[in-house]
Amino acid sequence: MIAAPFHAGERALQTLVGSREQMEVAGPRVIRDYMPDQHRTFFAQLPFLVVGSLDANLQPWASVLAAPAGFAHSPDPTHLRVDALPMAGDPLAGQLVQGATLGLLGIEPHTRRRNRMNGTVEALDATGFMVQVQQSFGNCPRYIQAREPVFVAARGDAAPVQWLDTLDLAAHRLIGSADTLFIATAYPHDVAAGDDADASSHGVDVSHRGGLPGFVRIDGDNVLTVPDFNGNRFFNTLGNLAAHPRAGLLFIDFDNGELLHVAVTAEIVWGGPEVAAFEGAERLMRFHVQHALRRPLALPLRWGDAELSPHLARTGRWASTHA
């Protein structure tokens, strides 16, 4: 159990929505500094992990590592070993060093299970790395689209990475039809400057967002707006954004394995006509695209047909969408 699992940004938003008192009780009970056996077993059965990292310019990035099930395994409750390394061109490649803080999301879409683990890289070698656990906790299954991933043999050298200063037509098509995105955020901390939360509550986090296809609205070339639905009220993602308004978005083309990494600055829209007009939205996240990386054929997974989350029946659509 972690005595103070939430940093100042998370606590401020919990106070704003009236969940602070509840989180003071629930947080230390469900956010642990070790992995329960159930989580250890869960990570070991996954063929991919979503990884959040932070570059030297304090820009968060979301990435994916994929390998046959068992590549992530826990030798003891305070460690997770990952027998995989990022390919050239993956933003994670530049951040994966000893001592780096990472956010890890284990998600099994077809069973709608997900667990989060945040930690630091304790050791790194030619085949993978070891992460020491700082935080481990489960997440609810709402808004996850049920599609089953199967690992397939990698295709050798990946296609060249494409740098985008602005979203092009192909990016618009992928984002505009998406029903899933992953978001990496961070709370860069400086203990010497007086950060008051437990050190284990700081660092990088990566999370999942889901909605009906088209739930990410595109305005112009470089502005994305995403509804934020009811969740666990921990405010891990939004608490980070309130303190450090930058994020890394990841969109997956489930047909061909293409990955689109998008670096953004962020703002939270707490109310107003836009929020009221989107059924189910409690607030909006608005992202201003700084640049993006397209990695064709980067993900060696093939996916079954998607079954949309039944919880999405109570959510709306944008009045107009841009594909």
pLDDT in tens, the chain (323 residues): 666 688 887 888 888 777 787 777 777 777 899 999 999 999 999 999 999 999 999 999 999 999 999 999 999 999 999 999 999 899 999 999 999 999 999 999 999 999 999 999 999 999 999 999 999 988 888 999 999 999 997 665 667 899 999 999 999 999 999 999 999 999 986 533 444 444 333 589 999 999 999 999 999 989 999 999 987 667 788 889 999 999 999 999 999 999 999 999 999 999 999 999 999 999 999 999 999 999 999 999 999 899 999 999 999 999 864 43
Burial class (CB in 10 A: 0-12, 13-18, 19+), 150: exposed
Tell me how far apart the alpha carbons of residues 273 and 27 are, in angstroms, rounded to a whole number: 33
Tell me how far apart the alpha carbons of residues 15 and 6 are, in angstroms, rounded to a whole number: 12
The tens digit of pLDDT for each residue in 241-268 reads 999 999 999 999 999 999 999 999 999 9
Query: Nearest Cα to 103, choosing from 240, 283, 230, 198?
Result: 240
Query: Nearest Cα to 164, choosing from 256, 60, 296, 56?
Result: 296
Tokens matching residue 122 = 């304790």
Q: Spell out a b/e string for 45-74, using b for 16 or more CB atoms within 10 Å of the CB, else e.
A: ebbbbbbbbbeeeebbbbbbbbbeeebbbb
pTM over 0.75: yes
Tell me how far apart the alpha carbons of residues 83 and 89 are, in angstroms, rounded to a whole number: 19
DSSP H helices in 181-283: 236-243, 273-277
